[in-house]
Chains A and B, each alone.
Chain A
């Protein structure tokens, strides 16, 4: 595809439900990032992958949040037992290499609303 693709674009979940958010990075991009953006705030770092290895998960807010990238391409962010405070836009970004700076390209985001 032409860019980073995220699905679904919108998700409404009842409190307590589990959700899975998908990110398709740009083909060949080694690095993949997840960010959480609450209403009126800037994006906040959640986790980072280099290929299939999750090298930094320091931003995950609780053990209800889990991310994986098993084949070094598509990534899934899973949130278990969703809470109202999980309502946010979840952004995925990918970049070509790690170890030197290359531009990160962002997806359109998934807007999660927990009711």
Chain B
């Protein structure tokens, strides 16, 4: 079964502390993995994609196929990072990637001053 699990509903840290948002997935194949973010009163938007291997707003995520994990990390949290974060996978289709996304339940990151 295709599934994305985010074990923490809420993660609360102080400004400047390291952050790790956990994501595990279940998929028999090679899906694409993403992190999406939703800031307060804004729409859902892409944060980063595992294939691009970029660092966006100081966040990175490494795909670990052995552990089927895609944890999101940032060394020093900022107050403006407070938001809801969703891990998602996109299964490859027969004619390429359709873009369909399977989301985890989401983790609220709260960065305290």
Chain A residues with a Cβ under 8 A of chain B: 3-4, 31, 33, 35, 40-45, 48, 50, 55-56, 91, 95, 98-109
A to B contact number (C-beta, < 8 Å): 65
Q: 7 other contacts beyond A40-B105, A45-B101, A101-B49, with CB at 8 A cut-off?
A: A31-B98, A35-B103, A42-B4, A42-B88, A42-B103, A44-B103, A48-B98
B45 within 8 A of A: yes
A45 to B44, CA, bound (A): 14
Nearest CB of chain A from residue B92's CB, rounded to whole Å: 9
Nearest CB of chain B from residue A7's CB, rounded to whole Å: 14
Closest to A99 in B: B96
A84 to B37, CA, bound (A): 28
Interchain residue pairs with CB less than 8 A apart (6): A4-B43, A42-B4, A42-B103, A98-B98, A101-B90, A109-B43
Q: Mark B59-94, 1 if CB is under 8 A from A, else 0.
A: 000000000000000000000000000101010000
Chain B residues with a Cβ under 8 A of chain A: 4, 6, 9, 32, 43-46, 49, 51, 86, 88, 90, 95-106
Closest to B105 in A: A42
A102 to B102, CA, bound (A): 16
Nearest CB of chain B from residue A37's CB, rounded to whole Å: 8
Whether A102 pairs with B99 at a CB distance below 8 angstroms is yes
Nearest CB of chain B from residue A36's CB, rounded to whole Å: 11
Closest to A101 in B: B97
Whether A103 pairs with B32 at a CB distance below 8 angstroms is no
A111 to B90, CA, bound (A): 25
A103 to B46, CA, bound (A): 7
Whether B96 pairs with A104 at a CB distance below 8 angstroms is no
Specify which of A4, A56, A95, A99 lies most central, judged by the most chain B CB atoms within 10 Å of its CB. A99
